[in-house]
Amino acid sequence: MNDHNLALVAQAQKGEILAFRQLVEGHQQKIYALAFDLTGNHHDAEDLSQEAFIKAFNGLPHFEGTANFGSWLYRITINQHIDRQRKKSDTLLELQEDIDEQSASNIVGIKPNNPQHDTEMNQIQQHIDQALDKLSDRQRVVFTLKHYHHHTLNEIAQTLEIATGTVKSLLFRAIQTLQTELAFHRSDSDEECAQ
């Protein structure tokens, strides 16, 4: 952990809220991005990321400075996500889809310029999101950390406190599941690339 983060953690552990604020502001985008990849929607991503910071705040007295603060936050976020998934019901999922549509307006990058292109891109995104939803929680966590957050297999194993072989198995099955789900879409996208 770099010296600056080390100093901030030490101050935050003494109760300096401004130091904790700097830690939050230094990690909020990464933790939010992880939360979004895990949950698939803005509303849950915001909730999950903030819950992770609250857990980190409460757990500061027990955090040992030798560990990496960012990795620790990642682990908290993932565990919190797994806990939330256990409690979540299908009804809540439908409501969150509605909320997610309403909150999409503050997300940059989704602005219609080329309607046809955007429709196709939105379809691709939909297929991808639907495929990700088919993964089990652990598969999704492993795939997200590997493919979108570029952790090594060993790092993922350490974060999740599982064997590297288990990570590989989970990742292999995740990719096969995605492959099955995307089978229809993949033939369309190959034609697009050829044009």
Partner 1 sequence: MNACQPIRDTFVSALYNELSTEERDQFQAHLAACDACKKEYAKMQATLATMDQRTQPQQDAAYWDTYWGKLTPKLEAQTFQKSPQENTSKLSNRKWIYQLTAVAAILLIGVLLGYQLGQKPSTQAPIAQNKAPSEIQRYLSRSEVVLLGLVNLDASHFDPAEMDLQHLQNVSRQLASDSDHIRRQLTDDKHQELQRLISDLEIIMLQISNLETQQNALGIDLVKSSVDHKSILLRINLEEMQRNLTPKAPTTPRI
Given the rule CB under 8 A, which residues bind partner 1? 14-17, 21, 24-25, 28-29, 32-33, 36-37, 42, 46, 50, 53-54, 57-58, 61, 106-110, 121, 124-125, 127-129, 131, 146-148, 152-153, 168, 171-172, 175-176, 178-179, 182, 185-186, 189-190
Residue 173, CA atoms < 13 Å, CB-side half-sphere? 14
Write down the least CB distance from residue 126 to partner 1, Å.
Answer: 11
Write down the least CB distance from residue 120 to partner 1, Å.
Answer: 11
Q: Which of 136, 137, 174, 135 has its CA nearest to residue 153?
A: 174
Beta carbons within 10 angstroms of residue 149's beta carbon: 15
124, 125, 126, 131: CA torsion to nearest 10: 90
Write down the least CB distance from residue 171 to partner 1, Å.
Answer: 5
Write down the least CB distance from residue 194 to partner 1, Å.
Answer: 13
By beta-carbon proximity to partner 1, the closer residue of 91 and 105 is 105
Q: How far is CA 138 from the centre of its chain?
A: 12
By beta-carbon proximity to partner 1, the closer residue of 68 and 172 is 172
By beta-carbon proximity to partner 1, the closer residue of 64 and 184 is 184
Calculate helix-pair angle for 42-59, 90-102, nearest 10 degrees.
110
Amino acid at residue number 14: K
